[in-house]
Structure 1
Amino acid sequence: MLRKIGFTLLCAVATFSSNTYSTVTHTLQAGVTLEYEFPPNEPLVFVNYLYWEVAADCKITSEDPSNELFAEALAKAGKINGVTLSKGNTMKVTVHSGDILKLSAESGAKVQITNFGPHTLKATCTA
Structure 2
Amino acid sequence: MIKLTSLAGAAGCAAKLGAGDLSEVAFPLGQLFDSAAHPNLMVGLAEPDDAAVYKLNDTQAIISTTDFFPPVVDDPYWFGAIAAANAMSDVYAMGGEVLMAINLCAFPASLDLAILSEILRGG
Q: Do the two structures share a fold, i.e. TM-score over 0.5? A: no
TM-score with structure 2 setting the length? 0.25
Greater strand content: 1
Pick the structure with greater CA Rg: 1
Greater helix content: 2
